[in-house]
Amino acid sequence: MKPNWRSLPKVAAAAAVLSAAGCSTNDDPPAATLECGWSSTAAAESAPGACGVGDPTLPPEPTLPTTVCQTLTANKSTPDESQLDTVTIQAALTACAGSGAVKLTSSGSNNVFVAGHLQVTGQVLWIDSGVTLYASRNPFYYNDDGNCGLIGVSDSSACAPLISVTGANAGIVGDGIIDGQGGEPLVGEAYSWWDLSNALRSSNGSGPNPALIEVKTATNFLMYRITLHNSPKAHVKLSANAPATGCAGHPGSGFTVWGVTILTPSTLTNSLGYPVTPYYARNTDGYDPGEFAATSCGVIACSIVSTGDDQIAIKAAHGATDFVIAHNHFGSGHGMSIGSETNGKVANIDVHDLTIDGSSRWTGAPLSDTGDFNGIRVKSDESRGGPVSGVSFSNVCVRDVVNAIVVNSSYNPLFSGTLYPEFHDITISDFHGVSCISLLPPVVNLEGFNAQFPAGPLTLDNVIVDGITPLDIAAQFSNVVLGPGNVNFEPHGPGVTVENKIQGKEAPVACSFPLLPVPE
């Protein structure tokens, strides 16, 4: 068993507040009592100032800036496209380089800023409580190559983001909101950014949409306490590295994300009354660390992510190493993922104390599919594969997800190449998949590429997936180690070897899930 730090929201320390709501395990050992509702205790343990206390893998919780260079006051109460604040905000950021934060504040009912592309080059942008910075809905302000906002065009590089970040010690902080307006009609058009993405769903194309935040060539970047809504595409693309002193003893010196909430969509309908759901918000990853360049020394902690694609997808076309992802709560989304780009090397990734709650998903049209309900995923294919090693997932609870654990070396069978996935030294421990209202059985998928490039060792230690049957397990070309903690399934398939080290029938991890924010 891994150490249970004081802030873990799922484990037996919270058992006193758990109620028996009819969801329990049928495994051989004494059944753990599980909560099919939501735990206020779990939410309290993730509150600012409490989360992460006593966890030796994390740095201290960040703080808000002590110096404000300029304060800008909102002059409107709605996201009026005729009154953009881009020039004003950018001028303040430029003037305040190295001199403190630029703080966006409200005045009475005026609490809205609207901007096109902004550049943060070492400064801190502070969005105060009650303030919303909206991304303009006009593609003109993000256009990089002429295709931004054009329907039917697949172009992942068409648009600049709302906010570009470079340099050392930059940050985006505060208790306010950044809203990308992804589901709202573009200026002069009847379609939204998300309509552009959905028009390319059948061809797996990438809509010409802007990301919300792109961090490139940064060091010691900080996101703290901010809320992100409705990005047109990925919310945060993160590429940052530690200073020359290196990572050792300095977690988060590349980047730190702490106490951030992502909720997309944030409403049940858009301003025209059209229903919006995570499925409709296509390609809206929460965090893509490693997107642009080799990235190391990263921390994502004490945060909430509900979105329409991967909650976290570690991208490693250039390399991604030495990350700690701890004490986070996920709602809707495609999972805690590594890949699909792994050709630059993934190493030393520690994911612990994580809840993924599929039952938090709201209903409406367009509907979701089974790919929207994922737990842990390690994914790549022969067009972008490479070495993945030293990866640990521990103290993980998932509820009502279909794909509980996925290790997939042929993520996109339409792609070809000779960059074969090499998945080694991946450990999943103290994992419990809880089924409370699931309409489909849970699935475990452990698949290496072929006999020459098998996956493994894949170690499963105290891994219990409620309701799983032998028909729900797919495996090939994988070397699997079971134990020493109990595992309630055993993979079989071509090229699969299993080493059974199970020592006893310990009880599954007791799971407690916080009540997550939901759209209005």
Q: Which residues are catalytic?
A: 309, 334
Cα gap 357→55, rounded to integer Å: 23
Cα gap 254→217, rounded to integer Å: 10
HSE of 194, CA atoms in CB hemisphere, 13 A: 27
Residue 332: which of 281, 291, 288 has the closest Cα?
Answer: 281
State the DSSP code for 33: B
Q: Which strand ranges, in their side-by-side order, compose the sheet holding 236-240?
A: 118-121, 163-168, 213-219, 236-240, 287-289, 312-314, 336-338, 374-379, 403-408, 443-447, 473-476
Under a CB-based contact definition with an 8 Å cutoff, are residues 37 and 498 in contact? no
Which of helix, strand or coil describes residue 132? Answer: strand
Radius of gyration of the chain (CA): 22
Cis? peptide before 79, omega within 30° of 0: no
Per-residue buried b or exposed e for 344-370, using 16+ beta carbons within 10 Å of the residue's own CB: bbbbbbbbbbbbbbbbbbeebebebee
The dihedral of CA 353, 354, 359, 362: what is its sign? positive
Cα gap 210→213, rounded to integer Å: 9
Cα gap 370→142, rounded to integer Å: 33
End-to-end CA distance of the chain: 40
Under a CB-based contact definition with an 8 Å cutoff, are residues 481 and 501 in contact? yes
Under a CB-based contact definition with an 8 Å cutoff, are residues 300 and 287 in contact? yes
Which of helix, strand or coil describes residue 317? Answer: coil
Q: If 0-12 CB within 10 Å is exposed, 13-18 middle and 19+ buried, where does residue 471 land?
A: exposed
Matching residue, tokens 């076309």: 317
